[in-house]
Copies of this chain bind each other. A is one copy, B any other.
Amino acid sequence: MSTPVTVVGLGLMGTALAEAFIIAGHPTTVWNRTASKASPLAAKGANAAATIEDAVAASPLIVTCLTTFEDTRSALAPVSVADWDARALVTLNSGNPADAREMAAWADDHGARFLAGAVKNVPAAVGLPDTLLYYSGDQSVFDDYEKTLTVLGGDTVFLGEDPDLAALYEMAVGGTLLPTLVGFYQGAATLQSRGLQVSSMVRFSAKWLDMISSLLPIFAKEIDTGDYSQPLSTVDTFIAGAAHDASLGAEADIDIAWHAPLNDLLRRAADAGHGGDSISVLTEVLKGAEFGADK
């Protein structure tokens, strides 16, 4: 028989997780503070638990998908150590490493085996073979339930036993999202200033992101070795590009004030004598007081 699973927190992502378990044939119990959110899943075969205690009691594997770790502890507060009885708690929410460690300590105090995870995709991608989720914490939970967790996405990875590693990678990887989007939105505003459709650039932007992806292994190697002396693209090249941005911002009447600190990182690298080095040397600027970091 498939492992019974409980899903706590039925927002868009939590609902997608529960649906994936139902489709895969797992007996699925669901709970949400606003109980009405469980109804569509109950119609699809889920068991809608009346209380959080019942929800936890129903399965050996509890997957939570609330907004924060604090929300998670709040939802689980009524569940006692005896209720947990070494059940597995798998969290799938955003949070920083410190929050993840706090959650791990809480799970330890409450007698739950704890695995912290992150879904690196949108709800519509849950359950697809290529969808990435990663986990860290109690390896026995991952080993016991890896097959079940793979229902949520075929690219399921265990990062290590430190419970905050998933949060660390979540933030390290996720940190490109807002800056990349703002870069795209600026481009969108630029096209609109000429009466052009933003949709006309989507194909080009996607290819450009592919190009950036293709460079990441090279940059990672530079950073891992600390050798920035064989540049694919130099700091000075980016400094030259900044002047174009200023000109275009003025012409298109777009606020490009958000470039200022990026340009400052470039300037600090150049001032420290790294203008001819690889752009990856900005990693050192972000880390280092030697570059006049204003932390």
Contacts and interface: CB of A to CB of B under 8 A. Distances in A.
A216 to B, nearest CB: 5
8 contacts: A120-B211, A168-B196, A173-B208, A181-B212, A182-B282, A192-B223, A198-B219, A254-B287
A99 B240 CA distance: 14
Interface stretch (A40-48, A103-111, A256-264): A256-264
Contact of A261 (B238, B258, B287): B258
A210 interface: yes
> What number of copies of this chain does the assembly contain?
2
Interface of A: 67-68, 94-99, 120-122, 125, 130, 132, 134, 155, 168-169, 171-194, 196-199, 201-202, 204-217, 219-221, 223-224, 232, 238, 240-241, 244-245, 247-249, 251, 253-262, 264-265, 279-280, 282-283, 285-287, 293-295
A184 B216 contact: yes
Contacts of A214: 122
A224 B211 contact: no
User: What 9 A-B pairs come out closest when comparing CB atoms?
Assistant: A179-B179, A172-B187, A176-B183, A258-B261, A255-B293, A185-B283, A96-B244, A198-B220, A206-B213
